[in-house]
Every structure is written in structure tokens, then in C-alpha cells.
Structure 1
């Protein structure tokens, strides 16, 4: 399939940011305009700025306000070529350029394309101390431009593959968290040693000796290229529990000036990344920047010692002697005082870890397969070699008269008016009839009316503002029909039930959650302001929820097979269907599947505290 290839400047605008004077606090203090630096592009999907500037700072700098769906590209330093997609309205500094939305490209398609170009762009940088590219380089960049429908299909495929990769990474992180929490439950915090285990020097748990690499230079050709694995510091740092791979080998000559350590030896880094550990799964050599620990089988289990080091890393880093770079000496390691729980308990923990590592290895293999699949899909997609005919897409994305959104030339007041309109319009998404008007909405309407009065005598308004005006007229008409204009100032803010239901479905597909988790998610996502969480202990004794509290009512009316009175039956939730179960953490009566952020809320709690009512999406939802 042959697609046209065009320079970016031929179909859209490209803008670069600027920085208000940093010595003028009036440009920064109490700022409300999001302002990005190149490091913010590490978010991938940019939803939070690193800073804010004031309107005065905006007017007195060269920065430009960019709309959502702008594709961002970093121009300088180590971030050069890093790309992201903007999902808020924001401006940026001079190290970021923005490719504005147009009717010729789908933003996510361009974002995923630039992700494949990162290394190529970085290799094209110029400059000595600060390698960089410039705005012209981005403007002149040649990109493939298939039909919009194919751009959407490609972005859809890559987005789904990326989501699978993130889910797999989350599962691996959860396993690591589980093992760390199991360690704490069995042994307590080894730094505080509240379980009062016997304290001994590390050397009493096993022998410690430095690796050997006598020859200089260490990378002499005659030392390398043989059959004996050579493990480097970086391979220990990145290994996790077990060291399963290596990139270099020693020859017979190399082996003679080194030492071959047995499988099962725990390696400890003593330079660069200090006190990182990993256990050999093969016989290997290593340099003197690594210490080998061989546990005394009568005193310790090296898996226990490996997890022990994760708690002592900060202490060892702080106490490490520093010359050109920090490093540990053998004497410091040998004299390190550590808790020594009973060997039987150490071995029990090691057995749990080994079983869990099997599951983790499966996830690691799946992650590798998914990353390889993603790379292959990207390569085929942007070459036009991927069959896209069977890819289902959201047809609402296909808007034929999609106008180019250029906010660069719009006055800031117009931008603010459009932003307010969009926020209000989003609250009414999926709502056919208005029965309750939050006080916060009244304030937003007042802001809109005040700003809108300024534009009445402008002969030609931007398309985005005209659309905003139409939205506001529709909403105002609906409010008038409701016969309500204001609520008391202290009345509780209401929910946009349709939007909230959709976010719950996205977040909790194939997962469990309780009220605390939902409340935390809503707060972080800034969906609504809600009342505090009600503990699961209360829910156990009184699972019937209070109808006067919006969040509780919303969930209660979504639960299937719950006994409802006549009033509740009339208010059955039309947007969401849930099932509820009582989870007994002590008996583990079923397997909880939690979102990574939700797991963090309960990971340090007792089994009794983790028990309670949990919800999940009903199968027909």
C-alpha cells in the first residue's frame, strides 16, 4: 500500500515555546496557565504540567498556548526526539515544539510514528555540550500520511498493544510488592527490627569476597571471547532476584587472571549503583567492583539476604566512602549489622519467593513477547504493510469537516472562555435531563457570561468559540427547563453519572474495588468532590448504603440482586451494573484482582483490615 509522504509544515502549524523571565515573580506566582518543560514529555500522554505561569508571564514571553491533541517533540539535550501527546491546553518552554492538530492527520497516529523515530532524530542532533535539533528540523520532517481512517486504525492497534504491555508491567510490579510485603509480614522492617531478632554482622551469615580482575586494561582483547560468563555491574543492577543473562565472556587467558564463582552465589555491587544484588543462575566470573556472598547453609538463606539488602541500600549508599565515585569496601560490608531470624523462617520465605518467581518469569516472557510484537506492528504499520481491514474503530473520530485548531493566534480571554465551555459541556456528557445543578456549575456559568460579553462586537469569531457558544446555549436552555438556577452555597456537588460510570468501567474491567479505592481514584482523577470514605468495617455491619449520599447511592443502585425498597427500585442505576462480594483476607475465599494504585492502599494492612465488601463489573456490562 503506497501512501503520500509530506513535510509536516505542508499540512499543519508547528510552534515552539518560550520561558517568561524567571526573576519576575509576577510571571510565576499563583499562575494558572499550564507550562511544560521537555521532561514532562516522559509522561507520554501529557495531562499534568510541571509548572504554571500567569497571564502577565504569558503575554511577556514567546511561549504559545497549544490545544489538546498537539503532538510534542523535545528539541534539546538527553530528551531530544522524545515525543508525547498533549491532552490539556498548555504552553511550553523553548525546548519543546508542538505539532498542532489539523484535518490531515490523526494526532495519536503522528505520536506513535514519532515514537519510532526517536533514535533517528537523536542521531541527527548537532551541537557539542548540548546536542539539539530545532523547529525547522521538525517542520521539514517527512511523515507518511495514509487516509485518516487508516491513521485511526493504526493508532488503535498500537494503543491496544501498548495497554497490554502496561498491564503486564503492572502485574510484575504487583508481584514485587507482594514479595516485599510478605517479607515485612514475616520479618518486620529490618532497619527498626521491632520483632527483636538477634543482630549479627553480615559476615556471620556467610563469606564475602571481591571478584577478581587483575589485568589492566580490563577489556584487553586477549581476555575476552571465550566460554566463561563475565557478569558486569550493570547486569547485577538490572537483574532482580536472579541473574539469568550476560553479554561478555572470558577466554582461558581471562579466566586465569580472574575467578569462576559457583551458581547460587549472591552478587553485591560496591561501585556506581551501590548494594544492588542478584543471585547467579550459572557459574560466572565478575570484576572487583562486585562482591560475592556465599551463604552459610546453617545460618542463612541467600534469598533472605537478597531481600534484606533492598532495605539497607539507602544506608549503605549514604555511608559509602566517596572519591571519584561512591564505593563500598569489603570491611564495611562484612561488619554490617543485620537481623538474623530463625533459619526455618528464612527457608519458608525462600520457598514462597521461588514459587512466585515462576509466575513472575511467565509475566516477563509475556512482556518480552508483547514488546517484540509492538515493535513489529509499528514497523509494519508505518511501512503500509499491515492489513487494517478488520480493525474496528470509533466512528465518532471520523469527522469530515474537522477544522484545524490553531489557538496560537487567539487572545487568552477567548482561550479561557473555550476552556470553561469545554469543562461545563463535559459535565453534561450523556445527560438527557437536568434535575440537579451543582453550585460549582453556577460559578462556571457566571464566568462564561462575563467573558462572553466581551466578544459580542467581534465580527468574526474563531470556530472553536462559536462551537463553545452553541454548547453553552444548549446547556443554558436545559437548565431553564429544569426550573432551577442556583443551589445553596453549601449543597453537595452532584455527580455526572454517565461519565463516572464510563470511567469506572475503564478502570475496573476484570478488577475488584471497594469504596476507599473508588474514592481515591475519583479524587486523583478530579471527577467530582466527594465525601470521605466509609471503612469496610462499617460496611460489614451495615451493607445497606445511605441514599442521601451521592457516591454511595450511585454504587448501591448499580448492585445486582440487592434488596431495595420501592424508592431505590425507581432509582436503579441506568449506567452501571455491579456485583458485590465479601472478601475474607484471612481465608482468601476468592482471588482479588486489584489495580496497581488500589493495591498500594492496602498492601501494608492486616488481613482483617483488608477484608470487606468488594465490587466488580457485572458480566453483562
Structure 2
């Protein structure tokens, strides 16, 4: 079964938004939600930060969306979308409200389809710094117009798998919170230091100075030694060792950049949000290098457990120090070796550090299980999404239930 492709404008109408005068504080003291692209979450939820008045609506060009309308972000956070759950939401010029013909197109079906069309919008986006698409691009989005019973069934199937993915993400978030709770219970708040642990600088426990990684032009990639890149670690751990990129380099040059068990990597160039991202090196099956946008160092194990130090580096206390030390440029920031060595935190006794590491390892084991389950659900969702909009989920026509 294949579905006819029709341009969106044949089954929907469109409404523009606007912004009430930001200098009028009285406009923003009402009860009517007003949203921008930043208020739409990736999961389709709407989290308004502003509430406006009736006067703000009547004296501005803000758009008014009704229950069941689809809000589509066409500037900045391009492609995010959400279906309006309540009776009235106002919206900015960064958003287009799509009001579907309910006899032909289900809004939730459209929402799922738009989520699968990131490349359609990205390929048609214009703008040097703020990317956006025109109304014409939205109007001509080709929609696989399944009969309404099929649309609703597809929506139910995708909603179900999506809810399972959300539950897995919630479980992972709870495990992260558990790890933080154990840390606070054992060591106290890292800022107030209520147990008067010794305050120390990272540089005082580093065996050798932090060393920047290897830089090679792209033409050297493809074969050779595996190399850790910034996308090779997550939540303090190296991931998918077998999928590391490989780089061709002489043995002599490689010797300077080999990673050792227990080394710590810290990102030195990135967007401010991810600057200072760290990982503990463990479990490598072959000699492995690391790229130039990160540093490597090791700690004196008579003073500190490297897994404990790696956990501390991911704390809000350290992230605040990194943000303060960062050298900011357009779209990125950086830190140097001196910045890393000057990071300060309290250092509990070594036996307590190791006890925390043991507890945290058990939590991480559960988290790995959850992450693997989430990856399987993500793959299932992508497969269902692809097949659904191609009409390949079933081979027989769906009969509506009376």
C-alpha cells in the first residue's frame, strides 16, 4: 500500500505569529500563554515562559492558535513542532500555525511526519547566522496522505513506542540523580564543603602536565590507529570502542598520543555548553590515540582515584569554574592547560573515594542496560516511522471500527 503525496497547503491553512512590544511590561502580566521556538520541546511539549494580556493580543500582530493546531518553528530552532493541547496559545513570528482539515489530515499524524522531515527543512533553510525557511517551503511540504483510519493507527503505534522511549530516558535521568545523591550524601555540597575536606587544585595531583591531542588533516583518516574524538565519549565514559575513527600516523608520532588505562580526557575546545566534557579511559582493546580538541592527563593514585576525579569534573561546581575561565569566540570557547590545572575541589580520603567509585559503578551498569534498551527503541521507532509513511506497516486495507 502506498499513499498519495499531496502538498501540505491542499489539506491545511497557515497562520503567522508576532511579538507584543517587549518594552510594555503590562503586556506580559496576563493569563494567555505566548510562545517562541524556545518554548517548544523536542518531544512535542509546549512550555510557555510568558503570559500575555488581551490588550497585548489586540495591539500586536501575535498569532492565535487553537486546540489541535500544529505549531511549527520556521526560524532558529528550525523544524521543532507541537500540537496545541489547550484552547488558546499565542505565538511569535518564528512559528507558523498549521490548521489541518480534520476530514483529511490528523494533526498528530502530521506532527509525527514533520519530525521525520528534518532534512527537508535543513536543505531549504536560508540565513547566515539564523536559519529559517519561507512559508512557501512549508506550504509545499509533500505529505503522504493516508486515509484517516490509517493515519490514526500510525499515530497510535508511533505514540506508543515514543512513550516507551520517554520512560527509558526518565529512568536514565533518575539514575543520574541517584549518583548525584550518593555523592552529596557521602561528601556533602562541593561549594560549602560542610565536612571540611582538604581543598586542592587538580594540578597538585596530576602526574604530568595535561597534553593536547593529535591533529591530522581529514585526508589521513580512514585507516591506522583508532582515535578518540569528541563524539567518542558520553556521561564520563568512552563509548562504542569498535566504532572509533582511524587515523594514519607513524609509530614514532603515535607514541606521544597513546592513551593509558586510567587516563582522563577533557575537552578543551567546544561550545560553552560542552566545554570541559570529560571521560575516564578504560577497557581499550588496542593502542588508541586522541584528537587535538582535548587534553590527556593522569592523577597520582596515592592521592586520588581517577574515576572519582572524573566524576568531580562533571559536577556543576567544576563546570562553573570552566565557564569562568573559558576564552570565548564565535560559536565556541576554549580552555588551556593552566585552566585545567587550576580547577579546585575538595579531596576526601582515598578509601571514601574508592567506595563511591564502587557504588557509582553499579549505577553505571544499570545505566548501560537502560541506554542499550533506549538505543534499540530508537532504532525500532526510526524503522516504524520510515515504513509507516511509505505505507509498509501492513499489506491489507484498514477497516474503520464502527
TM-score (norm 1): 0.57
Q: 1:333 to 1:33 in 2, by over 3 A?
A: closer
How far, CA to CA, are the matches of 2:251 and 2:34 in structure 1? 54
Aligned counterpart, 1:240: 235
Q: Secondary structure at the match of 1:252?
A: coil
CA contact (8 A) 1:30 1:54 kept: yes
How far, CA to CA, are the matches of 1:115 and 1:371 in structure 2? 13
CA contact (8 A) 2:16 2:97 kept: yes
Q: Secondary structure at the match of 1:299?
A: coil
Q: Secondary structure at the match of 1:42?
A: coil
Q: 1:193 to 1:156 in 2, by over 3 A?
A: same
| TM-aligned CA deviation for residue 388 of structure 1 | 8.4
Aligned counterpart, 1:314: 319
The count of residues paired between Structure 1 and Structure 2 equals 388
Q: Secondary structure at the match of 1:14?
A: strand
CA contact (8 A) 1:12 1:99 kept: yes
Aligned counterpart, 2:288: 284
Structure 2 unaligned regions, length at least 5: none
CA contact (8 A) 2:20 2:57 kept: yes
User: Could you give the per-residue CA deviations for residues 249-288 of structure 1, whole angstroms, max 9, x where no partner exists?
Assistant: 2223386164212133111223334332111232432245
| TM-aligned CA deviation for residue 247 of structure 1 | 4.3
Q: Does 1:358 find its partner at 2:365?
A: yes
Question: Which is helix-richer, 1 or 2?
Answer: 1
User: Could you give the per-residue CA deviations for residues 389-432 of structure 1, whole angstroms, max 9, x where no partner exists?
Assistant: 89999x7xx8xxxxxxxxxxxxxxxxxxxxxxxxxxxxxxxxxx
How far, CA to CA, are the matches of 1:32 and 1:82 in structure 2? 24
Aligned counterpart, 2:54: 55
Aligned counterpart, 1:90: 89
CA contact (8 A) 1:200 1:340 kept: yes
CA contact (8 A) 2:318 2:343 kept: no
Q: Secondary structure at the match of 1:314?
A: helix
Aligned counterpart, 1:66: 65
How far, CA to CA, are the matches of 2:63 and 2:207 in structure 1? 62
Aligned counterpart, 1:109: 109
Q: Does 1:347 find its partner at 2:326?
A: no
Aligned counterpart, 2:267: 269
Q: 1:144 to 1:225 in 2, by over 3 A?
A: closer
How far, CA to CA, are the matches of 1:280 and 1:247 in structure 2? 14
| TM-aligned CA deviation for residue 92 of structure 1 | 1.4
CA contact (8 A) 1:76 1:131 kept: yes
Q: Secondary structure at the match of 1:98?
A: strand
Aligned counterpart, 1:567: none
How far, CA to CA, are the matches of 2:47 and 2:358 in structure 1? 43
How far, CA to CA, are the matches of 2:262 and 2:171 in structure 1? 26
User: Could you give the per-residue CA deviations for residues 278-309 of structure 1, whole angstroms, max 9, x where no partner exists?
Assistant: 11232432245423232333322111111222
How far, CA to CA, are the matches of 2:62 and 2:360 in structure 1? 52
Aligned counterpart, 1:569: none
Q: 226, 246, 250: which is aligned to 2:247?
A: 250
Q: Secondary structure at the match of 2:12?
A: coil
Aligned counterpart, 1:260: 258
CA contact (8 A) 1:230 1:249 kept: yes
| TM-aligned CA deviation for residue 317 of structure 1 | 1.8
User: Could you give the per-residue CA deviations for residues 471-518 of structure 1, whole angstroms, max 9, x where no partner exists?
Assistant: xxxxxxxxxxxxxxxxxxxxxxxxxxxxxxxxxxxxxxxxxxxxxxxx
How far, CA to CA, are the matches of 2:252 and 2:239 in structure 1? 20
| TM-aligned CA deviation for residue 367 of structure 1 | 0.6
How far, CA to CA, are the matches of 2:320 and 2:54 in structure 1? 46
Q: Secondary structure at the match of 1:138?
A: helix
Cα RMSD (Å): 2.9
Aligned counterpart, 2:300: 296
Structure 1 unaligned regions, length at least 5: 399-621
Q: 1:321 to 1:353 in 2, by over 3 A?
A: closer
CA contact (8 A) 2:211 2:297 kept: no
| TM-aligned CA deviation for residue 337 of structure 1 | 3.9
How far, CA to CA, are the matches of 2:153 and 2:395 in structure 1? 7
TM-score (norm 2): 0.86
Which residues in structure 2 correspond to 1:130-141 (within 5 Å)?
Answer: 130-141=130-141
CA contact (8 A) 2:149 2:398 kept: no
Q: Secondary structure at the match of 1:13?
A: strand
CA contact (8 A) 1:274 1:316 kept: no
